């Protein structure tokens, strides 16, 4: 509420004696004594004459009450003898003073396009208190010379920041110093959408603080609608005034600044709004510079890690296949351009059985590299002890499970008697198995999909038994094979890959692999492979007639 006080004795003067005062949700005492909120200098007036009190929910209405018996008080020319509710435009007459009343204007309802019902619902969901001063990004900012100097020093401090945390800390310090803020808070995200990823907030006493009042509403208002908001009065019991400003970068809103003041202290004015608006531009520019530098460093680090992982994969690839009687073995592997983690190996066990491992590791670069080396060593050691496939997977799961550095391993371990074709195998995750006889008929012995290795501490993996017939081809391949695309962006897909493998029926394993690679060259040679590609072919030869 605003009071405009006119000494009617000076109304005809060139410069009439006027005074304008603004009050928000607080009792107002009127009288001739200097201790009153509104002092009317008249020796004939009672020291404590009357009160104007906030009433109603939130203190949005006001009531005029006399503190003394006097019939000389009037509102709009009518004598006042009892408590009276004030209205916008009322004129209060006390002695030779006229006090014009201007009430807080109700909040204007922002109406979007009529068709956008959801937007209208959100505006209603997040209303602003009355007399909210709402600006937009394209409005003119006015800065005094002092404010310009302040911003110059602030920008120098921001330029010294090398990470997001330092930018947030400097901004909080700026808000506390320049606005005498009870609470100074800032939240930032990397992109123009999503949750706030970096947050810093402190009270005037230097304590860390939680979420500001009405944070969700300000996030919508400032970051979705790009509004710059000043609340002269919050209507909250512990705060007086508040400013909420979006941090707008090149790609859109990337953060939010909120500051408020303690109750019955500073009321933020238009100059404060302009100052923080200008400061938010410097913050946005420095944040973008810091994030871009961090992204560049992260990309360089990941590229280096991919090179190291690729070198490790090359060292883990078997130099030559063991000599298995009655078996032909051939393998193809190619690192992915984005994701790496494929591994395969083969071992001739002491009892004459043939063991094959095909796996794909998913996780951080360092964890992936470590897990690949551990899996290869565990597989080879387990084969020396002639451990069954399901025992091996259980041991591998125990070995690689780590809540601190989680990895997931899709894998198949296949153990075969080369002479009889009798086989046992166990699988984890999305690993593919195909058997193709020498007439092109295909079967997929894997039916169930077991959880990947590394997802739970105590995991059991079932074992299945199957016989590989004479002349039959066993194909083991990783999930990345199906993700390859040709030069036009067409995805290879599992179905097309299976048909290509079936077309190699009746041929020795090395020849079958060559034909398979030729058929898939538009995908594997001329196209793109975001993920590793590994295919292992094992053909059981026909016995002597």
Q: How far apart are CA 488 and CA 224, in angstroms?
A: 37
The answer to whether the CB of 321 falls within 8 A of the CB of 348 is no
Assign residue 87 the CATH number of its domain.
2.60.200.20
Q: Does residue 511 sit within a domain?
A: yes
pLDDT at 93: 92
Torsion of CA 308, 314, 316, 319, to 10 degrees: -160
Instruction: Residue 442: name the closest of 492, 519, 389, 495 by CA.
Output: 495
Q: How far apart are CA 128 and CA 106, in angstroms?
A: 10
Q: pLDDT, tens digit, for every residue of 311-333?
A: 777 777 787 778 888 899 999 88
Q: How far apart are CA 266 and CA 263, in angstroms?
A: 8
Whether residues 409 and 434 fall in one domain: yes
Stretch 212-240: mean pLDDT: 90
Q: How far apart are CA 497 and CA 228, in angstroms?
A: 56
Query: Strand 327-334 relative to strand 533-540: parallel, antiparallel, unpaired?
Result: antiparallel
Backbone angles phi, psi at 330, to 5 degrees: -145, 145
Q: Which H or E element spans position 371?
A: helix 365-384
Give me the number of domains the chain comprises: 3
Whether residues 121 and 98 fall in one domain: no
Q: Does residue 306 sit within a domain?
A: no
SS (H, E, C) 64-131: EEECCCCCCCEECCEECCCCEECCCCCEEEECCEEEEEECCCCCCCCCCCCCCHHHHHHHHHCCCCCC
Q: DSSP H helical segments within 180-269, as ranges?
A: 215-218
Q: How far apart are CA 313 and CA 333, in angstroms?
A: 10
Q: 237-249 burial by CB neighbour count: b if 16+ within 10 A, else e?
A: eebbbbbbbbbbb
Q: pLDDT, tens digit, for every residue of 361-409?
A: 988 878 888 898 999 999 999 999 999 999 999 999 999 998 888 999 9
Whether residues 127 and 77 fall in one domain: no
303: CB partners within 8 A, 6+ apart: none
Assign residue 485 the CATH number of its domain.
3.60.40.10
pLDDT at 115: 46
User: Which of 252, 278, 293 finishes a domain?
Assistant: 293
Sheet (strand 422-428) strand order: 342-348, 354-362, 408-416, 422-428, 464-467
- Given 3-state DSSP classes, what are the helix, strand and coil percentages for the chain, each rounded to the nearest 5? 30, 30, 40
Query: Strand 408-416 relative to strand 133-136: parallel, antiparallel, unpaired?
Result: unpaired
Task: Please give the residue that has the higher pLDDT: either 396 or 304.
Answer: 396
Whether residues 483 and 530 fall in one domain: yes
**545 confidence band (pLDDT: 50, 70, 90):** very low
Whether residues 40 and 66 fall in one domain: yes
Residue 465: strand pairing partners: 424
Q: How far apart are CA 374 and CA 415, in angstroms?
A: 20
Q: Does residue 76 sit within a domain?
A: yes
Residue 2 corresponds to which tokens in the numbers above?
């605003």
160: CB partners within 8 A, 6+ apart: 166
Query: Strand 61-66 relative to strand 50-55: parallel, antiparallel, unpaired?
Result: antiparallel
Q: Does residue 75 sit within a domain?
A: yes
Q: How far apart are CA 142 and CA 7, in angstroms?
A: 34
Q: How far apart are CA 526 and CA 514, in angstroms?
A: 16
Query: Strand 2-7 relative to strand 18-22: parallel, antiparallel, unpaired?
Result: antiparallel
Q: Does residue 108 sit within a domain?
A: no
Whether residues 375 and 242 fall in one domain: no
Mean pLDDT over all residues of the chain?
Answer: 86
pLDDT at 224: 87
Helix (H, G, I), strand (E, B) or coil at 27: coil
Whether residues 35 and 84 fall in one domain: yes
User: Which of 51, 67, 102 finishes a domain?
Assistant: 102
Least confident among 79-88, 101-110, 223-232: 101-110
What percentage of residues in the chain have a pLDDT greater than 90? 39
Q: How far apart are CA 392 and CA 254, in angstroms?
A: 49
458: CB partners within 8 A, 6+ apart: none
Q: Does residue 110 sit within a domain?
A: no
Note the maximum CA span of the chain: 133
Whether residues 395 and 500 fall in one domain: yes
Whether residues 345 and 270 fall in one domain: no
- Give 36's Cβ-side CA count (13 Å radius): 20
Backbone angles phi, psi at 51, to 5 degrees: -130, 145
Q: Calculate ∠ Cα 209-215-219, nearest 5°.
A: 130
pLDDT at 114: 45
Whether residues 48 and 129 fall in one domain: no
534 class by beta-carbon count within 10 Å (0-12 exposed, 13-18 middle, 19+ buried): buried
pTM, two decimals, is 0.50
The answer to whether the CB of 25 falls within 8 A of the CB of 54 is yes
Q: Does residue 517 sit within a domain?
A: yes
pLDDT at 292: 84
Q: Domain range holding 238?
A: 117-293
Q: Does residue 307 sit within a domain?
A: no
Assign residue 122 the CATH number of its domain.
3.30.450.40
Q: pLDDT, tens digit, for every residue of 10-65?
A: 888 888 888 888 777 778 899 888 888 888 988 888 888 999 988 865 556 889 99
Whether residues 347 and 485 fall in one domain: yes
DSSP designation for 29: E
Whether residues 83 and 6 fall in one domain: yes
């Amino acid at each position: 509420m605003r009071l405009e006080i006119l000494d009617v004795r000076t109304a005809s003067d060139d410069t009439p004696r006027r005074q304008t005062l603004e009050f928000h949700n607080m009792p107002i005492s009127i009288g001739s004594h200097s201790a009153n909120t509104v002092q009317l200098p008249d020796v004939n007036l009672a020291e404590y004459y009357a009160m104007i009190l906030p009433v109603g929910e939130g203190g949005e209405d006001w009531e005029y009450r006399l503190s003394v018996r006097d019939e000389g008080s009037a509102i709009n020319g009518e004598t006042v003898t009892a408590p009276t509710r004030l209205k916008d435009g009322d004129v209060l007459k006390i002695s030779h003073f006229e006090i014009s009343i201007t009430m807080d204007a109700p909040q204007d309802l922002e109406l979007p396009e009529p068709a956008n019902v959801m937007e209208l619902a959100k505006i209603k969901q997040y209303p602003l208190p009355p007399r909210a001063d709402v600006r937009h990004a394209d409005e003119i900012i006015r800065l005094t010379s002092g404010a310009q100097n302040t911003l110059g020093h602030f920008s120098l401090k921001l330029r010294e920041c090398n990470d997001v945390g330092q930018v947030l800390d400097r901004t909080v310090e700026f808000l506390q110093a320049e606005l005498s803020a009870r609470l100074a808070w800032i939240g930032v995200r990397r992109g123009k959408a999503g949750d706030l990823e970096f947050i810093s907030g402190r009270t005037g006493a230097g304590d860390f603080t939680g979420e500001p009042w009405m944070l969700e509403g300000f996030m919508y208002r400032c970051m979705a609608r790009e509004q710059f908001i000043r609340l002269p009065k919050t209507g909250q019991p512990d705060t007086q005034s508040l400013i909420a400003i979006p941090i707008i970068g090149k790609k859109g809103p990337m953060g939010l600044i909120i500051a408020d003041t303690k109750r019955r202290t500073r009321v933020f004015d238009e100059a404060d709004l302009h100052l923080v608006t200008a400061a938010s531009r410097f913050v946005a520019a420095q944040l973008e510079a810091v994030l871009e530098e961090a992204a560049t460093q992260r990309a360089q680090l990941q590229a280096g890690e991919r090179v190291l992982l690729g070198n490790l994969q090359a060292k883990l690839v078997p130099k030559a296949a063991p000599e298995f009687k009655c078996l032909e073995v051939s393998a193809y592997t190619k690192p992915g351009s984005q994701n790496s983690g494929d591994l395969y190996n083969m071992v001739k066990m002491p009892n004459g059985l043939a063991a094959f491992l095909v796996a794909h590791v998913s996780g951080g670069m360092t964890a992936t590299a470590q897990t690949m080396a551990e899996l290869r060593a565990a597989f080879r050691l387990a084969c020396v002890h002639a451990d069954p496939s399901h025992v091996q997977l259980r041991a591998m799961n125990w070995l690689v499970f780590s809540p601190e550095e989680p990895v997931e391993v899709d894998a198949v371990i296949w153990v075969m008697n080369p002479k009889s074709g009798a086989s046992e195998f166990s699988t984890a995750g999305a690993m593919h198995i195909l058997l193709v006889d020498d007439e092109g008929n295909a079967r997929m012995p894997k039916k169930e999909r077991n959880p990947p290795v590394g997802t739970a501490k105590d995991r059991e993996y079932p074992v299945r038994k199957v016989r590989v017939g004479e002349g039959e081809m066993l194909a083991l391949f990783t999930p990345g094979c199906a993700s390859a695309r040709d030069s036009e962006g067409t995805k290879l897909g599992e179905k097309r890959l299976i048909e290509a493998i079936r077309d190699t029926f009746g041929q020795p394993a090395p020849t079958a692999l060559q034909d398979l690679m030729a058929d898939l060259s538009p995908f594997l040679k001329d196209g793109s492979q975001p993920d590793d590609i590994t295919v292992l072919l094992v053909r059981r030869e026909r016995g002597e007639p």
